[in-house]
Structure 1
Amino acid sequence: MVHDECTDVEGSGRLMESRRVGGRGAVCETQHLPDANAKTTLQPEASWETACPTIQAPGCPEMPPGAPDSLPPTAALQQTVTPTNSLRFLSVLGFPAEIHLFGVLLAILGNLVISISLNIQKYSHLQLAQQEHPRPYFKSVLWWGGVLLMAVGETGNFAAYGFAPITLIAPLGCVSVTGSAIISVTFLKDNLRASDLLGMTLAFAGTYLLVNFAPNITQAISARTVQYYFVGWQFLIYVIFEILIFCILLYFYKRKGMKHMVILLTLVALLASLTVISVKAVSGMITFSMTDKMQLTYPIFYIMFIIMIASCVFQVKFLNQATKLYNTTRVVPVNHIFFTISAIIAGIIFYQEFLGAAFLTVFIYLFGCFLSFLGVFLVTRNREKEHLQQSYIDFGNIPGKQMLDKIQPDSNSLSYGTLPDGSDSTNSQSGEKKEV
């Protein structure tokens, strides 16, 4: 981009700053002119697409009939997008010029609210378990309060994708895990282990690196931009490859009965990549509609909305199946790692978020992801085993009753639910009645 001076335009007697874009000609801009009514004049070699390569910039002429209202950013302009009305609107509200930091704040607050909601729901379950006649949890006001807070937190995460890149928002899910551990120690009186402190420290360090070395782009997501990316060859190849892997894993899961945790969570991750792409598209178009031009009339908005809902439903289905078959302390860290990796790949391929990034920046970003993964693993490691209550009654501790065996063996053994001699509970009860 070469800067020079424009000649006198329309006899105004003032000089204006100009720039050359891609060698196609000088494009005069009027932001430095004192006259607010002055209009931009394009040189003969320039075109509307040259003047406004990404979005309709302030001072640009009106769009010609049939011209797209938003074109995809190029590599040279992706790091410095011309401010739109939406960016100026947020600046008026007091937000910094780096709007992606506002998205980071929304994501962190949303994840913290989610962690609070999970602990409230856990506390309500503990209260109901202590009652003599426990009622269903869905009749508890406290439990519904936790559900409401979770909805607020998820809304914050949803809105964050409209202001910041996927590669910045997705790894911040570690804040929810570490925040939940801190809150459970404070309010639920859980034990604070040395691994918890180490895991929280690593997660916070990784979050700091992620925020500072993630792609620093401010990209306005309009319907035309999403349409361009949606039919791009990179995304088409990625979708075909993802569908093939999904079908192969689904075949082994359904037909062969292979229900390994890695298979289930890989299915979740493949669906999650479509979820984050559609969430950012829907959130970005809603944000663009609120601050600039209406985008909800385009069919691509509803296509992305349907993809978002469908992928979320099937994602929850496979995730619930994994939590039923395996311990939560194993599912949570692996799911966080798989989800973050799939989201990062989706952001790189669909929205080209690392386009033109330096190698050192990418390396430090990946190192931050590794620290957050390790922190989540340390926080969740063996945590649930510490809270397992005794699953049987030891009659040896009851005065006047002497028995050598327990009424039920260890819950992890194959004979759980039966007596040690292999007889069922009905026969044992009838035999005890005869003895009496």
Structure 2
Amino acid sequence: MSMTGEKYVGMGLAMASSMLIGASFVLTKKGLMNTSAKYGSASDSFAYFRNWIWWCGMVVMGLGELSNFAAYSFAPAVLVTPLGALSVIVGAILASIFLGERITPTGKAGCALCLLGSMVIILHAPEDEKIESVDEIFRLCLRPWFLLYTIAVTLFSLIMIFKVAPKYGRSNPLIYISICSLVGSLTVTACKGFGIALKLTFAGNNQLTHVSTYVFAFTVALCIVVQMNYFNKALEVFSTNIVNPIYYVFFTTATILASITLFRGLSKTDTVDITSLICGFLTIFIGVFLLNTCKAELAATDKCMADSINLREIRTIDHESSDSVGLLESHHRQSSFHHDSPIALSPEEEQAALSRSSETLTPGTLRYADRHSIQV
């Protein structure tokens, strides 16, 4: 297969991966919602293991990740990584259909920009060098510029992990996100090396006898553990509306930088294509930002509506409480002027006042009743 043919195979795998992963988010959430409705808590009791929709989501996600892994074996990371934004679009559209979630005009504009940016990148992405063996890509990793990049990422990550993150990680989202983004760029590079080894092996050129294959496999496992650990830390502390767009921009930028350094992907690309790629990246970045802004807008609107409802309920309760207090005060004043022959409430009035008081007593009502020895 020609390099151009492999590029389009990788592009197809990347797009299929985005669609599968986007659909898996909706299936997984639907399964969790059904489980919560049936058993109460879905995560505490692991009841979602009994839900077939949740399992469908997990299977679809696994297929999506496999497709994404295979895409790096055929197409340059400059093309594959930005196409991951399509999963956000697929997830948003399917969530609006099957979960009843809303997409604001801002969110629709974000989806359109992601599609536009993806098309620009597809049309102008460069091709990788032709790789004949896993040892060849390992030698590319030993080039001075990429070796310098790897050392810089490793030192930066170690300093952030052991010095900066323990002190400032929970106050600044850039700390956790920078760690998982930079380590993630090495994950993608190692994935590409390991994926090429498997592709060549399946094509009849056995690469499992090469030490380089296992070096890449070990690097993939190690980097994924570090990457996911700090990504989960970021999600635990900060809002997804903050983490997702920042992580996407950082991870995509770091991955593209690593790929260009490794393969010199832009050395044979003209100025028009380079400019178009940069514009495509920026368009996708803005689209992802608008999509997450849409989520923030919906969350803020829902919170305002809930606060408004709660405020109306509080005012209703206070009004009923005031009526009860007024009735009790009236009774007390009348009693104070007629000590010898106190005026008693009718049974119906007394029962109504006591009933409202017991249901809607506020701290002010209780203090008044206690001060005047009124039993409520």
TM-score, structure 2 normalization:
0.77
CA distance in 1, matches of 2:12, 2:280: 18
Q: 2:69 aligns with which of 131, 136, 158?
A: 158
Aligned partner of 1:126 in structure 2 is 33
Structure with more of its chain in helix, by fraction:
2
Alpha-carbon shift at residue 219 of structure 1 (Å): 2.3
Residue 190 to residue 396, structure 1, CA distance change in 2 (3 Å):
closer
CA distance in 1, matches of 2:168, 2:238: 19
Q: Which runs of 5+ in 2 are unaligned?
A: 322-361, 364-374
Q: 2:203 aligns with which of 284, 291, 298?
A: 291
The amino acid of 1:315's aligned partner reads Q
Aligned partner of 1:31 in structure 2 is none
Aligned partner of 2:121 in structure 1 is 210
The answer to whether the 8 A contact 2:104-2:294 is kept is no
Deviations 1:303-327 (A, max 9, x none): 1101001101111110111111111
Q: 1:117 aligns with which of 15, 24, 42?
A: 24
The answer to whether the 8 A contact 2:169-2:176 is kept is no
Alpha-carbon shift at residue 381 of structure 1 (Å): 1.2
CA distance in 1, matches of 2:138, 2:33: 49
Alpha-carbon shift at residue 189 of structure 1 (Å): 1.9
Aligned partner of 1:358 in structure 2 is 270
The amino acid of 1:239's aligned partner reads T
Deviations 1:171-224 (A, max 9, x none): 111111111111111222222211122111111110011011010346235222
Deviations 1:138-171 (A, max 9, x none): 3322112111110000000000001001111111
Deviations 1:395-431 (A, max 9, x none): 9749x966999xxxxxxxxxxxxxx99xxxxxxxxxx
Deviations 1:335-355 (A, max 9, x none): 111110011011011122222
CA distance in 1, matches of 2:32, 2:276: 42
The answer to whether the 8 A contact 2:26-2:95 is kept is yes
What secondary structure, in the 3-state scheme, does the structure 2 residue paired with 1:208 have?
Answer: helix
Deviations 1:75-99 (A, max 9, x none): xxxxxxxxxxxx27xxxxxxx9522
Matched, 1:304 2:216: yes
Matched, 1:349 2:256: no
Matched, 1:198 2:105: no
Alpha-carbon shift at residue 263 of structure 1 (Å): 1.0
Higher relative contact order (CA 8 A, sep 6+): 2
What is the root-mean-square deviation in Å for CA atoms of aligned residues? 2.9
Q: 1:377 aligns with which of 286, 289, 295?
A: 289
Residue 234 to residue 288, structure 1, CA distance change in 2 (3 Å):
same
Alpha-carbon shift at residue 273 of structure 1 (Å): 1.1
Deviations 1:111-158 (A, max 9, x none): 110010100111122223333645522332211211111000000000
The amino acid of 1:126's aligned partner reads M
Q: 2:142 aligns with which of 231, 240, 262?
A: 231
The answer to whether the 8 A contact 1:100-1:218 is kept is no
CA distance in 2, matches of 1:194, 1:283: 40
Residue 261 to residue 289, structure 1, CA distance change in 2 (3 Å):
same
CA distance in 2, matches of 1:404, 1:139: 47
The answer to whether the 8 A contact 2:193-2:216 is kept is yes
Aligned partner of 2:172 in structure 1 is 260
The answer to whether the 8 A contact 2:188-2:255 is kept is yes
Aligned partner of 1:176 in structure 2 is 87
Alpha-carbon shift at residue 358 of structure 1 (Å): 1.1
Residue 187 to residue 257, structure 1, CA distance change in 2 (3 Å):
closer
What is the count of residue pairs matched by the alignment? 316
The amino acid of 1:215's aligned partner reads P
The answer to whether the 8 A contact 1:102-1:163 is kept is yes
Matched, 1:368 2:280: yes
Alpha-carbon shift at residue 289 of structure 1 (Å): 1.4
What secondary structure, in the 3-state scheme, does the structure 2 residue paired with 1:98 have?
Answer: helix
CA distance in 2, matches of 1:391, 1:339: 37
Residue 151 to residue 254, structure 1, CA distance change in 2 (3 Å):
same
The answer to whether the 8 A contact 2:128-2:263 is kept is no
The amino acid of 1:150's aligned partner reads M
TM-score, structure 1 normalization:
0.67
CA distance in 2, matches of 1:137, 1:384: 27
The answer to whether the 8 A contact 1:330-1:381 is kept is no
Q: Which has the larger Rg?
A: 2
* Greater mean deviation of Cα atoms: 318-327 or 131-140: 131-140
* Greater mean deviation of Cα atoms: 187-196 or 132-141: 132-141
Alpha-carbon shift at residue 242 of structure 1 (Å): 1.5
The answer to whether the 8 A contact 2:190-2:219 is kept is yes
The answer to whether the 8 A contact 2:103-2:294 is kept is no
Residue 143 to residue 354, structure 1, CA distance change in 2 (3 Å):
same
Residue 188 to residue 256, structure 1, CA distance change in 2 (3 Å):
closer
Matched, 1:188 2:99: yes
What secondary structure, in the 3-state scheme, does the structure 1 residue paired with 2:190 have?
Answer: helix
CA distance in 1, matches of 2:185, 2:127: 21
